[in-house]
Amino acid sequence: MLKEFKEFALKGNVMDLAVGVVIGGAFGKIVTSLVNDIITPLIGLLLGKVDFSGLFINLSGVPYKTLAEAKAAHAATLNYGLFLNSVIDFVIIAFSIFIVIKQLNRFKRKQEVVVAPVTTKECPHCISAIPIKATRCPNCTSMLETKGTALAHE
């Protein structure tokens, strides 16, 4: 069983997936920081100095000035500002992944497709596929054209 696991774990796809997960985790942290530390404050400034991370609805009935105070008191809150940050975070990550995959697909399309050489031709009489070098159709026994000369159908 250990040998089978080793073979599985060292396959190219599994290793690629592992690298992708690690890079994705690091990328997610960078995007989260971008959203929380740069984009959201700029949006908040444009909307009248609103701090999204501090937006919440208090469900406990006891008034709290900040989300930190409500959390410290273990009050029930709906943290819609943190949710908005997460939505912005997701949109940026999804858009970034879309751009990366679009570019990868673009590079794949540029690779030339190898066309297999033609090995068959079509009989003009019975429309069946026959070898390219054939001078007589094996299906209808008609004589076929050979280098510009058309032979009659028997």
* 77 neighbors 66 (Cβ within 8 angstroms): no
> Which residues are bridge partners to 121 per DSSP?
130
Nearest to 152 by CA among 128, 144, 133: 144
* 154 neighbors 141 (Cβ within 8 angstroms): yes
CB atoms within 10 A of CB 81: 19
User: Which pLDDT tens digit goes with each residue over 63-107?
Assistant: 988 888 988 999 999 888 889 888 888 888 888 888 888 887 787
pLDDT at 146: 67
In angstroms, the CA 53 to CA 85 distance is: 7
pLDDT at 116: 81
* 8 neighbors 14 (Cβ within 8 angstroms): yes
User: Which pLDDT tens digit goes with each residue over 130-147?
Assistant: 898 888 888 888 888 765
Nearest to 72 by CA among 81, 62, 83, 82: 62
